Amino acid sequence: MQTTGNHPVAPQAPAERVANPGVDLAWLADRIDYPLFQQCIHCGLCTASCPTYVETGDENDGPRGRIYLMRSVTDGRLAMSPEVRRHLDLCLDCRACETACPSGVQYGKLIEPFKIAMLQDVPAGAGLSPLQRLILHRLFPYANRVRAALLPVRVLQKLGLMRLIERSGLLKLLPPTLRNMAAMVPTLQPASNLPEVLPAIGPKRARVGLFLGCVTDVMTPQTTAATARVLQRNGCEVVVPRGQACCGAIHYHSGAEAPALELAMKNLEAFDPDELDAIVINAAGCGAMFKGYEHILPPEDHERAAKFVAKIKDVSEFLVALGPIAPTHPIDAKVTYHDACHLCHAQQIRNQPRQLLGMIPGLQLVPLVESELCCGAAGTYNLTEPEMSARLGRRKLDNIEATGAAIVASGNIGCTLQIARQIRERGGSIEVVHPVELLDQAYGGEG
């Protein structure tokens, strides 16, 4: 087998190679270890766990089919045609196939570089629109810009005019991407405004860094505040570094590798792992991105990234390992839990959120059918693939409603916004929260 640097590349196919593969094969060879393709034995056990395959029934919209397509392009046997691009674009990168795979195929390490490569050589009319690129790369990753952009919405909500505007049909005049964005915005709460250091309540058990995120702290600041209070009540001194930035997932998953790496380096600068027992995250997508820093950063930064990654903990993961203090305030409600893809599949965190919810007096936790099937949020997928996103969102809500729960909890901002949107559009009254918000309430909240 030939090699480029430390990375094996595809052996020359015996058949004629396509003249224009449509992607930079040398670039891909430097980022994908070819044996990762060969781990797939094409057994098909992944297909039942794949949201797009479950919806379309098309083999090319399942993990096995996509791996075959990517390998064929890498081998030079297939061009990156519009049809191939479409099947790969439709992938949510939810990683459910990794959980289902008996061979341990690391699907994320295949699809993510491929999506970046696809966007480096985009044919006319394909890829992100200028508006989508502006929103994803220039707005969302920057909390202050998102906060400023939402100021008119905040004012309209305070005046009670937002629902009137929605009912009037005026939002239909907006471009589709902006309409989708408007539909996702929840009732905005006051900013969390956390100080740089919050003292532990009771005996100090740990010193932790708290990651705020770019969208979470703006759209659901109550989640940020609840996370900080819960950590304090569990004996943690909470440090909120001012130099932290977006985790980089929005850029990275939409093909903009260079700015994603710049944001990653800012976070390595902001959080000092030697001074912290953990770096706590309350958004599954951000946590999964952080835990992948060692993989995406260049070799010269691997050692530094490894020290950082070793301290990254989802808030539920951290609290269970620390030994949570039992809450005493009852919550008399039926609650169901939706597994965020990048928590259960990318980080293998399933039991910890349920364990925390199970500690709350009076709370009845009921199971959710297809709990690990993606809700259709998938980071920014609901903006770039609104039709499939909506299909999966409706499917998820059908299952939630079937539980009879009054509250649905999930550990990722994208999931909570997506599910809440579906509930609003159906005229339902189910409350959507992060598990840490319920735990905070059971500890007594701000009081």
Tens digits of residue pLDDT in 23-66: 889 989 988 999 999 999 999 999 999 999 999 999 999 999 99
Q: CA-CA distance, 122 to 133, in Å (whole number)?
A: 13
The 8-class DSSP code of residue 48 comes to G
Level-2 CATH architecture, domain 327-443:
3-Layer(aba) Sandwich (3.40)
Beta bridge partners of 197: 239
The 10 Å Cβ neighbour count of residue 25 is 18
Sign, CA dihedral 15-18-22-26, equals positive
CA atoms within 13 A on the CB side of 431: 10
- Amino acid 227 reads T
pLDDT of residue 447: 43
Query: Which residues touch 176 (CB under 8 Å, ≥6 apart)?
Result: 386
Per domain, the residue ranges of the chain are: 3-120, 130-184, 197-321, 327-443
Q: What DSSP string runs through 231-292?
A: HHHTTEEEE--TT----SHHHHHTT-HHHHHHHHHHHHHH--GGG-SEEEES-HHHHHHHHT
Sign of CA dihedral 178, 426, 215, 380: negative
Domains 3-120 and 197-321 share a fold: no
Q: What is the CATH number of domain 197-321?
A: 3.40.50
**Which pLDDT score, from 0 to 100, does residue 168 have?**
84
Contact 345, 95 (CB under 8 A): yes
Q: Residues 161-202: pLDDT tens digits?
A: 888 888 888 888 888 888 888 888 888 888 888 999 999 999
> How far is Cα 74 from Cα 381, in angstroms, rounded to an integer?
25
**Beta bridge mates, 43:** none
Query: What is the DSSP code string of 64-96?
Result: HHHHHHHHHHHHTSS---HHHHHHHHT-----H
DSSP element (H, E) containing 208? strand 206-210
Displacement of CA 206 from its chain's centroid (Å): 27
Rounded CA separation 365/331 (Å): 11
Whether 278 contacts 207, CB under 8 Å: no
Nearest to 418 by CA among 368, 386, 377: 377
Contacts of 170 (CB under 8 A, 6+ apart): none
Positions of the chain with pLDDT under 50: 1-14, 447
User: What would be the CATH architecture of the domain defined by 3-120?
Assistant: Orthogonal Bundle (1.10)
Distance CA 127, CA 327 (A): 48
Q: Are 107 and 345 in contact (CB under 8 A)?
A: no
Note the pLDDT of residue 446.
67
pLDDT at 7: 40
**pLDDT for the residue numbered 3:** 36
d(CA 233, CA 369): 33
* Residue 36 neighbours by CB distance under 10 Å: 17
Sheet holding 278-281, edge to edge: 197-198, 236-239, 206-210, 278-281, 312-314
